[in-house]
Structure 1
Amino acid sequence: MKLRIGTRASALAVTQTRTVATVLERLGIDVTLVEITTQGDRDRSPLRRIGGQGVFVAALRDALVNGEIDVAVHSLKDLPTQPHEALVLAAVPPREDPRDAVVARDGLNLQTLPRGARVGTGAPRRLAQLRLARGDDLTLVEIRGNVDTRLGKVHRGELDAVVLARAGLARLGREAEITHTLDPTEFVPAPGQGALAVECRRADESVVRALAQLDDPRTRAAVTAERAVLAELQAGCSAPMGAFAETTDGEEGGQLTLHAVVAAVDGSASVRLSTSGSLGEAERLGRELASALLAEGASRLIEERVT
Structure 2
Amino acid sequence: MSDSNTTDFTNPSTFILLGIPGLEAAHIWISIPFCTMYVTAILGNFTILFIIKREPSLHGPMYYFLCMLAVTDLVMSTSILPKILSIFWFNSREIDFSACLTQMYFIHCFSGMESGIFVAMAFDRYMAICDPLRHSTTMTNPVVAKIGLAVVLRSGMLVLPYPFLARSWSYCTTNIIPQSYCEHIAVVKLSCTDIHVSSYYGLFLTFSVIGLDVSFIAVSYTHILWAIFHLPTKDARLKTFGTCGSHICVILAFYIPALFSFLTHRFGHNVPLHFHILMANMYLLFPPMLNPIIYGVRTKGIRDRVLQLFTHKGT
Q: Same fold (TM over 0.5)?
A: no
Structure number with larger C-alpha Rg: 2
- TM-score normalized by structure 1? 0.30
- TM-score normalized by structure 2? 0.29
Greater fraction strand: 1
Larger RCO, structures 1/2 (Cα 8 Å, 6+ apart):
2
Greater fraction helix: 2
